[in-house]
Amino acid sequence: MLVGRARHQAGALSSSLRKLGATVLEIPFIKIRKPGSYGPLDEALRGLTEYDWLILTSVNGVDAVWERTKKLGFTKRAFSHLKIAAIGPATKKAIEKRGLNVDVVPPEYVAESVVESLREQIAGKRVLLARAKVARDVIPTELRKLGARIDVVEAYETVVPASSRNRLRALMKNSKQRPHVITFTSSSSVRNFVTLIAGRNVRAARDIQMASIGPVTSATLRELGLSVDIEAKEFTIPGLVEAIVDSRKS
pLDDT at 54: 97
Q: What is this structure's pTM?
A: 0.82
Same domain, 171 and 79: no
pLDDT at 199: 66
Tell me how many domains the chain contains: 2
Between residues 42 and 170, the one the model is more confident about: 42
Same domain, 19 and 39: no
Same domain, 7 and 64: no
pLDDT at 7: 67
Q: Is 211 exposed, middle or buried (0-12, 13-18, 19+ CB in 10 A)?
A: buried
Same domain, 94 and 149: yes
The residue-averaged pLDDT of 143-168 equals: 94
Q: What is the pLDDT of residues 176-212, one digit of tens each?
A: 888 999 999 999 999 999 999 886 667 778 789 999 9
Same domain, 87 and 146: yes
pLDDT at 154: 95
The residue-averaged pLDDT of 126-142 equals: 91
H helix intervals, 20-164: 39-46, 59-71, 89-97, 111-118, 138-145
Same domain, 164 and 84: no
Q: In this structure, which amino acid lies at residue 182?
A: I
CA dihedral of residues 114, 109, 52, 139 (deg, nearest 10): -50
pLDDT mean across residues, the chain: 91
Same domain, 107 and 210: no
Same domain, 149 and 119: yes
The parent domain of residue 175 ranges over 2-30+160-249
Instruction: Give the whole-angstrom CA distance, residue 195 versus residue 51.
Output: 38
pLDDT at 10: 60
Same domain, 123 and 22: no
pLDDT at 45: 97
pLDDT at 86: 95
Question: Is pLDDT of 217 > 80?
Answer: yes
The residue-averaged pLDDT of 8-20 equals: 83
pLDDT at 6: 72
The residue-averaged pLDDT of 57-77 equals: 94
Same domain, 219 and 149: no
Q: Pick from 134, 156, 178: which residue ends a domain?
A: 156
Same domain, 42 and 114: yes
Do residues 30 and 3 lie in contact, with contact meaning Cβ atoms separated by under 8 Å?
A: no
Same domain, 23 and 43: no
Lowest mean pLDDT among 34-43, 155-164, 199-208, 211-220: 199-208
Quick one: how many helices (H) and strands (E) in the chain?
Answer: 11, 10
Lowest mean pLDDT among 40-44, 63-67, 235-239: 235-239
Q: Pick from 140, 156, 172: which residue ends a domain?
A: 156
Instruction: Give the whole-angstrom CA distance, residue 208 versus residue 230.
Output: 11
| CATH of residue 167 | 3.40.50.10090
pLDDT at 106: 93
